[in-house]
Amino acid sequence: MTTASVLLTVGTTWSSNTDICNKDEKLGRTIRNAPVVAARELRETPSGREQALRIMREWMQQNCDIKNVRQDDSFLLRFLRHKKFSVPMAQQTLLKYLSLRKYYPSIFKNMDCENPKIKDIINSGYIAVSPVRDSNGRRVIIYNMGKFDPIKYSCWDMCRAHVVVYESLLEDPNDQVFGFTHVGDGSGSTTSHVTAWNPIDFARLLKWGEQSLPMRHKEFQLVNVPAALKYIIDFATSKVSPKMSERLIIHTNMKNLHNKVDVSCLPTSFGGHIPLQDMIRFTKDLLNERRQTVLALDDMEILSTRGIISSRKPTNALKPESISVEGSFRKLEID
C-alpha cells in the first residue's frame, strides 16, 4: 500500500489549520483535485452546486417548521455532498439532523470542547484526529477504547466527545468530500464499556446517526477487539445498513491493520509515526479553533417533524419522554 511520506517527530508542532498531506506530493495532488473527486463521486459541478444551494435556501426560507438554521455554503454543502446532490434527500437529512439534536439534547446541546468532561476525555486520548490524511485524502480519526473510563464517565459523555469532534471536522470542505477513516484499538475494553449503554438508546443512535449525520464514513478499521467489545460491535452491525457494516474490518493484530491503513497516519501506539500527545494537541487546537461555530449550532431549532418522511407510523415516532438514559446490554431488547 502507498503511504503518506510525511513522518512526524516528537518535536513537531502542529496547527489545526495545516493539512500535513499538502507537503506530500501524491496527497497534495489528491487534495488539490478535490473538485475532480467531488464531481466523480458526488456528482458535484459548479453550476449544479449553485443551483442546489439556491433551492435549499429557498426551501429553508419557506419552511415554517425550522428556525435559525444556518444557510451558509459550508453547512448546506455537508448535506448535499452526503446525498450526492439529491436535493430532496439532502433536505430530509437536514430535518433528521435537527430532529436528532432536539431529541438527544444531552448529547447535542452545548457541545463545548472546554466542558470539563469533554476536555478530560479529549486529553485522555480516547478520540483523536490525525494531523496526517491517508493516501486517499481522508481524515483519520483514532480511538483508544482503553483510555475511556466507563466508571468516571457515562455513555453520553462519550457521545458528546464524538459529536464535538465530528461537528468540528465537518466544517472542512475537504472532509465533506473525501470522508473519514476510523481506526480503533479495543485494548483495555471491559464489560463496563458495554454495560454502560442501554441497547435501545444505542440502537437508535446508530440508526438515527447514520441517517442524520452528514458524514462520509469510508472505513472502520478495528484491532485488538476483546470478547466484551465484539459483543457490542456485532449488535451495532445488525442495526446499520449493509453498506455501512461492509466497511467494518476487524483485524487480529497490528500487522494486518498496517496492510489496510497508512502507517504514517497512525500514532506510535498503533505502530505508526505520530506520538499520541501530538495527535491530542492537534485535536485540541482544531476544536478550539471551531469552538464558537460548533456552540452556535444550538441556535438552530426544528419546531415540527411533520416534514420528515418515515416508514414508521406516526405513533411509533420517537418522543422525548420515551428516550431512556439508563439500562445496560445485560438484557438485549430493541423495538
- Domains of the chain: residue spans and CATH: 34-103 (1.10.8), 107-295 (3.40.525.10)
Contact assessment for residue 117 and residue 153, using Cβ atoms and an 8 Å cutoff: yes
- φ and ψ of 44, to 5 deg: -95, 125
Over the stretch 105-124, which tens digit does the pLDDT of each residue have?
A: 999 999 999 999 999 999 99
**pLDDT band per the 50, 70, 90 thresholds, residue 291:** very high
Name the pTM for this structure: 0.84
**In the structure, what pLDDT confidence band is assigned to residue 334 with cuts at 50, 70 and 90?**
very low
Higher pLDDT, 37 or 227: 37
Task: Report pLDDT digits (tens) over 135-172.
Answer: 899 999 999 999 999 999 999 999 999 999 999 999 99
Q: Give the list of residues 6+ apart from residue 53 with CB closer than 8 angstroms, or none.
A: 73, 76, 77, 80
Predicted confidence at residue 78, as pLDDT, reads: 98
Task: Count Cβ atoms within 10 A of the Cβ of residue 320 and give its class: 0-12 exposed, 13-18 middle, 19 or more buried.
Answer: exposed
β-pairing, 127-129 vs 66-67, is unpaired
Cα-to-chain-centroid distance, residue 267: 19
Q: What average pLDDT does the structure give for the chain?
A: 85
pLDDT band (50, 70, 90) for residue 311 = low
Backbone angles phi, psi at 64, to 5 degrees: -85, 0
